[in-house]
Structure 1
Amino acid sequence: MKLCLFGLFIFLNLLSYSSSKKHPNLRGLKTDPAVNKKNSDFILHVKKAAEHIKIDGLISEPDWEVAEKAKDFRLVLPVDSGFAKSPSEVVMTYDDKAFYLGITFFDTIPGKRITESFRRDFVFGNNDNVLVFFDTFLDQTNGFSFGASVSGAKWDGTQSNGGTVNLNWDCKWDSKTKQYPDRWVTEMRIPFRSVRFKSGADKWGVNFSRLDLKTNEKSSWAPVPRQFATASLAYAGVLQWDKPLPKSKMMFSVIPYIFGSAAKNFESGTNTTYRKDFGFDAKLGLSTSMNLDLTYNPDFSQAEVDQQVTNLDRFELFFPEKRQFFLENSDLFSNYGFASVTPFFSRRIGLDAPVLAGARLSGKLGDNWRLGLLDMQTEKTDNQLSRNFMVAALQRKMFSRSNIGLILVNKEYMDEPLAQNFNRVAGIDYNLASRNNAWSGKLFYHRSFSPENPRKQFAQGASLIYNTRRIHAGMTQASVGENYDAEAGYVRRNGYNMLNPEFSLLWVPNKKVVSHGIVSTANYYFDPNYNQLDHEISLMYKFEFSSRAIVDAGIKDYYILLSQDFDPTHMNSAVLAKGTDYSYQVGFVDYTSDTRSLFNYAATISAGSFYNGNIASFSGHATYRYQPYLNMTMNFSYTDINLPGSFERARFWLLGPKLDLTLSDKVFFSSFVQYNEQIDNMNINLRFQWRYKPVSDLFIVYTDNYYTGNWSPRNRALVLKLSYWFN
């Protein structure tokens, strides 16, 4: 299997390389990456503005009148053929400090436009919106995304892995949206210093995407196949500047903040503790493509709370990073290995001990190299020694869109200088991405170094995925040694070999049923001698309707050989014994309603056998919105587990009422209550945010935790944080 995947990697890369060389416009050893791309014929010429552009949502200046228009948007969904029903027009210009977009979206269907709220980084599918994607280095892999909803809410994020958008990244830019009976209009001003690009370049990659929920159409200027997101940089068109972009001046910005808190731990019986302190984040633009980020005494209290889940698993759960400092160019550090076995996971830093300071150098070195250096220092606490986390990553572009990367992760305990107390991981990854995005994959080998475990400290994996309009097929393989230990990473389990085939086949009739088809996946785990440990096989049939409703139904087959004693409920004193094995099946039905409706919902019902007993569960959410000011959501999960013997029957609810109030694009309030019977806890999180200046905020955050049985308090805290962006 490993040799077959490796051979396919070599063949596909040579095929991709040879097809690039056959392009009629390519001559010589060096080629223009803007020409060597899928949509190279879609070119938008941008001229420098002769006059000042005012961001007022009017698009009335003379420069807009003479600007070339990107129009005739192509359909992406529900089918990727033909043109959108509602016309769209985008114009661009620029000056010495910023570039500007004027966007006009016409309506063909009268009525109220659909919007969720004023909140930044809105949910894409719940709003009429425009998104813009910039491939500033023409590598068809990394970029920046900006957008606006019809209410004027902003969207911004960094792009990696060919187009995946990370919305937790924010930068400083301006926009204004106005609505008219027959159209809505957005103007944007984005400073050059807010994005990274190559000095002297005269081309970027670009695409414009529109979601029009009244016609139920997603469209884009440069055509994108329906199986890919419009964010896919492999299908971006070409942005042709009339002059090469100048080298920008050194950029320096600093965000100082002050914060204070009051906290009381009722479980330990201690008095209320008060804390007041200050810190800062700073960004130094060493070039248009390389940044140095610094932080001192960072406070992450404003980060959104994780949504809890009912845990029936034997292994650690994964929750994504949401803290701003770790996000720009985060793929340089976090995109190694697979999600279940990665050498660096930034959430390991600062959750069990405060971060004292940190620095990150990241960006481009020339056309083909990317560099990332990260160093973070945590403080000493009663429970933890002071630790230093260092990550170094180097990436080299290969062929048309593939790359190879090296990473070194070092976690060092600083309070015992004479002791060998460290954990290190070194690794190499090759990431495959074909020119048309149909083939993708990965090949990696990592090794950990710890003084107490000299053997079997390896992790290795390979994957190959083929994706077309109707067919999705893939195979993933991984092997993890018994002593592989990535303390600064995320390793779900050790000592196994894994195979993960997946296949789906869809039909796209473009009627009331937009698409339907079969989806199958399987995960097989074996011990180092290839004796089976576990498997999970899923088979389902899926329907997507023109109303945007989705329904699927299927069955999952499980086999589990327990490697240690385990309580599936996480609530009983009884356990299933190590070495026992279980086969069971669970049937399920999923339904998602039309998200355009003011009231919408999604639900999953499942029932079947579970280890040596039975399980039934019902989960989902229901949402009502009073647009664009109020969103009310009830997340719910009910689980009933009945195991024989000395196990008590486990019935537990997880309820999460969430309220999101957006009074304007500057004032936000959210309330999130999570009642979790499985862990005997009710958490209350209230968060107020006032964005009084661009990327300058006042946060007031209140958290409270109670036992669900007798409602006695566990702990509570009140935090105030004030920040200001000096640029």
Structure 2
Amino acid sequence: MRNQLLLCFFLLSAFGYSQKKSLQTKFITTKIAIDGVLNETAWEQANVAGDFITFEPDNGKPIPENKKSEVRVLYDNDAIYIGALLHDENPDKILREITQRDDFGTSDIFGVFINGFNDGQQDFQFFVNAADGQADCITTDSNGEDYSWDAVWESKAVITDKGWVVEMRIPYAALRFSAENKQTWGINFFREVRRDRYKYSWNFIDSKLGTFTQQNGILEGIENIKPPVRLFLLPYSSFYVNADSKQKTYGTLKGGLDLKYGINDAFTLDMILIPDFGQTKFDDQILNLGPFEQQFNENRPFFTEGTDLFSKGNLLYSRRIGGSPSTRPNLATNEVVDASPATVNLINAFKVSGRTKGGLGVGILNAVTEKTSASIRNTETGVTREEAIEPLANYNVLVLDQRFRKNSSVAFINTNVTRNGSFRDGNVTALAWDLNTKKNTYNLAGDFKYSFINAAEDKKGIYSQLNFSETSGKYRYGMGAEIMTKDFDNNDLGINFQTNYYSVYGNASYRILNPTKYFNSFNTRINAYTQFEKETGKIQSNNLNFQINSNTKQNHYIGFGINSNPLESYDYYESRAENRFVIIPQRIGGFIYISTNYNNSFAIDFNPSYAVFDEAGRNSYGFSVGPRYRFNDKLSLNYNFNFFRQNNNKGYIDSINEDLNSVTPNAIIFANRNVITYSNTLSGKYSLNSQMTFNISLRQYWSYAENKNVLSLEQNGRLADFAGYVENRNSSFYSWNADLSYSWWFAPGSQVSVLYRNNAGAFERKINKEYTENITNLLNNDALSHVFSISVRYFIDYNQVKNKF
């Protein structure tokens, strides 16, 4: 009988968890002070959202009584108010590291997830940590969390003798909802107890399902509110002092304006006029020995914020906008380039994005870059001339994404680059789909893309992929295939490396859904991928790997993996010549990673790896080690050292072409070389409070390739000894970057940033293996530059200005 009662209780509990919880809010006319003290009468009269449920690691288990969480919601004509009482039996043990915005740090967290349309498509998430810091993001199931999105809202967190309290005021201008008189919103509340690494939610989030945003509860009772005019102005002024290697110092004053305007309740216009990206993070440049360009992260705020729609189809690589010129100058035999800009200036840009209540998402991105010229000098006469290497250009992206059944979508995407005059134009059109079963157990995803290049010789190409997978439960699997024709080219506004292939792939995985005796989480995965050259059917690449990831009961992350290329493959790119390939031998390798609990003051990451090829003496090995220390809640430092060595690596270094009228080289020269890479990075912060932070970011990098002997690529893809080549084609690249910055959020949405930056880089054919001497020479060479800048940005909300006047 006792067992039957327990079973009945379990079934009722599970049934209760599967239902969406509902909370009734109340309208207020009295003022709420955002001070972390819920002493207003309105709070006492508000309904309570309680009975939180564990999200992870013990999914579905009720929250312990000593961690009881009570949340109340109120609203008025301008904003929604959240009040949370978060009980904790040990308030002194609540972790509360002070960090800058959007960085949770080692802190307890409380969050609210709001979907004003209650359509399961997109959450606006607002977090407060126990140190009174803020974070916010937009979340979708397809693209995850986008923390580059920033809203302006108020919050206060206070530690008490019973736990901690959070009070929030979120203006309607920070949200999206319809103009209906009676509102029904999707809502959920989130809490993380950091010292235990346990996460809880008010409405149960079932980890067996492959969705997050569709498991919100319901907020009812909001009536007769209207979406406000969403007009925000962000004027800025920046001052730069630059000193180059010759000690020339000059100052530059810049000013501009960013604008955000809510076209209606769903769509927003973002515009930058006279952009200034002088304080964006530096690029981590490397010694690139391969046939493809290095891909950089996007660090410019305009191009990172709210870009979930523009990521559909994976066609946008926004670094193309304002990136390198698309052509190089044409030089006569007696001409040299005196000056050639490395990047193209952005004139202005805007984007319109949003989603209707019917689920139609619309995204439009447009940018214009200026004409850019190189200065060319005649070495015999001394006469200089200007040649355009990039004309006035327009970049445009259009996305139409129709969601249905709350968990599926079909999207149309078009990217277009139009360059003035006879320069190359590029256009890519795609249809992408992401289809899920009603219970989110299976997924069918894919796309079809068509590219058209308007140049001296027009090019047309296609790319398509299809993937089927099971997305729920302990055991999951997936399989798919893709095909790309030789002339597919999306590189005007996207990035793509390989073409002319077809491939098949598959994967299978297992995970635990609840903690065991030894692990809080544990998963294992096996992947297989094979790519074939489309014309010949030769294997271009193949990979088989197995990996285990785990989180122990002590919250240490431990994992290892084995990866292999079990078959020889034919690399059609390293040769840098059409229809030529080099054979890559079989390979097997492995790695281990250990990441100790970041809750501890001292933690460390360690990741060694080793691989061996089916070729005498050819192997690679390396490791990275990253200790971190949190001195107190204000000061922390993270250091990382990375070493990697490739022995007897084979790579392209040159082509010999005696017949200048022939496009086919007489000899393709490879080198048998050792490639060694070192990098040191140091980052740290000192936070005076949640609004003021000092940051440091340093990176020193050195990589060199030392050629041991020279080889020639034969027609069958093998390499043979080559005599008579005497040029020095060794490579050595050094770089140094240092950023020291201060950030002060002096008013909601308004910021003062002070930055000192110095950087240097050098490429040489001569290799000096004295490590310390190399660093000293780099910091003392002519390439070292210094920049000091101050930027002030002030947030203006039209509604606040209107209310004042």
> TM-score, with normalisation over the residues of structure 1?
0.87
2:307 corresponds, among 322, 330, 351, to 330
2:586 corresponds, among 583, 588, 592, to 583
Question: Could you say if the C-alpha distance between residues 681 and 227 of structure 1 is closer, same or farther in structure 2, counting changes exceeding 3 Å?
Answer: farther
8 Å contact 1:137–1:143 — kept in the other structure?
A: no
Which residue of 2 is the match for residue 384 of structure 1? 390
Letter in structure 2 aligned against 1:496: Y
Structure 1 CA distance, aligned partners of 2:48 and 2:698? 47
Which residue of 2 is the match for residue 471 of structure 1? 475
8 Å contact 2:75–2:222 — kept in the other structure?
A: no
Structure 1 CA distance, aligned partners of 2:322 and 2:634? 34
Which residue of 2 is the match for residue 717 of structure 1? 787
Aligned-pair identity (%): 23
- Report the secondary structure of 1:580's partner residue: strand
Structure 2 CA distance, aligned partners of 1:493 and 1:219? 44
8 Å contact 2:290–2:574 — kept in the other structure?
A: no
Which residue of 2 is the match for residue 293 of structure 1? 270
1:98 aligns with 2:79: yes
1:77 corresponds, among 44, 50, 56, to 56
Deviation at 1:82, TM superposition (A): 1.6
Deviation at 1:610, TM superposition (A): 4.8
Structure 1 CA distance, aligned partners of 2:743 and 2:310? 30
Cα RMSD over matched residues? Answer: 2.6
8 Å contact 1:402–1:432 — kept in the other structure?
A: yes
Residue deviations 1:232-254 (CA, integer Å, cap 9, x gap): 1121111213425x333423221
Which residue of 2 is the match for residue 48 of structure 1? 27
Question: Could you say if the C-alpha distance between residues 222 and 322 of structure 1 is closer, same or farther in structure 2, counting changes exceeding 3 Å?
Answer: farther
Structure 1 CA distance, aligned partners of 2:215 and 2:448? 30
Structure 2 CA distance, aligned partners of 1:448 and 1:402? 26
Structure 1 CA distance, aligned partners of 2:614 and 2:233? 55
Which residue of 1 is the match for residue 195 of structure 2? 214
- Report the secondary structure of 1:347's partner residue: helix
- Report the secondary structure of 2:482's partner residue: strand
Structure 2 CA distance, aligned partners of 1:163 and 1:177? 30
1:538 aligns with 2:542: no
Structure 2 CA distance, aligned partners of 1:706 and 1:421? 34
1:349 aligns with 2:326: no
8 Å contact 2:209–2:441 — kept in the other structure?
A: no
Residue deviations 1:107-145 (CA, integer Å, cap 9, x gap): 134542223323111147x32111221122223122211
Which residue of 2 is the match for residue 281 of structure 1? 258
8 Å contact 1:374–1:390 — kept in the other structure?
A: yes
Which residue of 1 is the match for residue 149 of structure 2? 169
Structure 1 CA distance, aligned partners of 2:501 and 2:138? 34
Question: Could you say if the C-alpha distance between residues 461 and 189 of structure 1 is closer, same or farther in structure 2, counting changes exceeding 3 Å?
Answer: same
8 Å contact 2:575–2:582 — kept in the other structure?
A: no
Which residue of 2 is the match for residue 185 of structure 1? 165
Deviation at 1:650, TM superposition (A): 3.0
Letter in structure 2 aligned against 1:491: N
Letter in structure 1 aligned against 2:241: A
Q: 271-280 or 210-219: which moved more?
A: 271-280
Residue deviations 1:373-404 (CA, integer Å, cap 9, x gap): 12111122335332111111112122342111
- Report the secondary structure of 2:44's partner residue: helix
Equivalences for residues 495-534 of structure 1 within 5 A: 495-507=500-512, 508=514, 510-529=516-535, 530-534=537-541
Question: Could you say if the C-alpha distance between residues 597 and 311 of structure 1 is closer, same or farther in structure 2, counting changes exceeding 3 Å?
Answer: farther
1:482 aligns with 2:463: no
Question: Could you say if the C-alpha distance between residues 395 and 163 of structure 1 is closer, same or farther in structure 2, counting changes exceeding 3 Å?
Answer: closer
Deviation at 1:515, TM superposition (A): 3.6
Q: 492-501 or 651-660: which moved more?
A: 492-501
Question: Could you say if the C-alpha distance between residues 277 and 215 of structure 1 is closer, same or farther in structure 2, counting changes exceeding 3 Å?
Answer: closer
Q: 155-164 or 630-639: which moved more?
A: 155-164
1:695 aligns with 2:720: no
Letter in structure 1 aligned against 2:464: Q
Consecutive unaligned residues in structure 2, runs of 5 or more? 1-15, 324-342, 374-388, 651-670, 704-732, 762-773, 798-805
Question: Could you say if the C-alpha distance between residues 194 and 421 of structure 1 is closer, same or farther in structure 2, counting changes exceeding 3 Å?
Answer: same
Deviation at 1:270, TM superposition (A): 9.1
Question: Could you say if the C-alpha distance between residues 640 and 326 of structure 1 is closer, same or farther in structure 2, counting changes exceeding 3 Å?
Answer: closer
- Report the secondary structure of 2:280's partner residue: coil
Residue deviations 1:599-655 (CA, integer Å, cap 9, x gap): 112221111215841111101422111342112001221112211785443332111
Structure 1 CA distance, aligned partners of 2:318 and 2:208? 31
Structure 1 CA distance, aligned partners of 2:97 and 2:645? 34
- Report the secondary structure of 1:202's partner residue: strand
Question: Could you say if the C-alpha distance between residues 620 and 459 of structure 1 is closer, same or farther in structure 2, counting changes exceeding 3 Å?
Answer: farther
Question: Could you say if the C-alpha distance between residues 228 and 672 of structure 1 is closer, same or farther in structure 2, counting changes exceeding 3 Å?
Answer: farther
Deviation at 1:227, TM superposition (A): 5.4
Structure 2 CA distance, aligned partners of 1:309 and 1:604? 20
Structure 1 CA distance, aligned partners of 2:693 and 2:557? 31
Consecutive unaligned residues in structure 1, runs of 5 or more? 1-36, 337-341, 568-576
Question: Could you say if the C-alpha distance between residues 687 and 172 of structure 1 is closer, same or farther in structure 2, counting changes exceeding 3 Å?
Answer: same
1:686 corresponds, among 720, 740, 746, to 740
Question: Could you say if the C-alpha distance between residues 304 and 610 of structure 1 is closer, same or farther in structure 2, counting changes exceeding 3 Å?
Answer: farther
Deviation at 1:315, TM superposition (A): 4.1
Structure 2 CA distance, aligned partners of 1:265 and 1:472? 56
Which residue of 1 is the match for residue 620 of structure 2? 615
Question: Could you say if the C-alpha distance between residues 429 and 149 of structure 1 is closer, same or farther in structure 2, counting changes exceeding 3 Å?
Answer: same
> TM-score, with normalisation over the residues of structure 2?
0.78
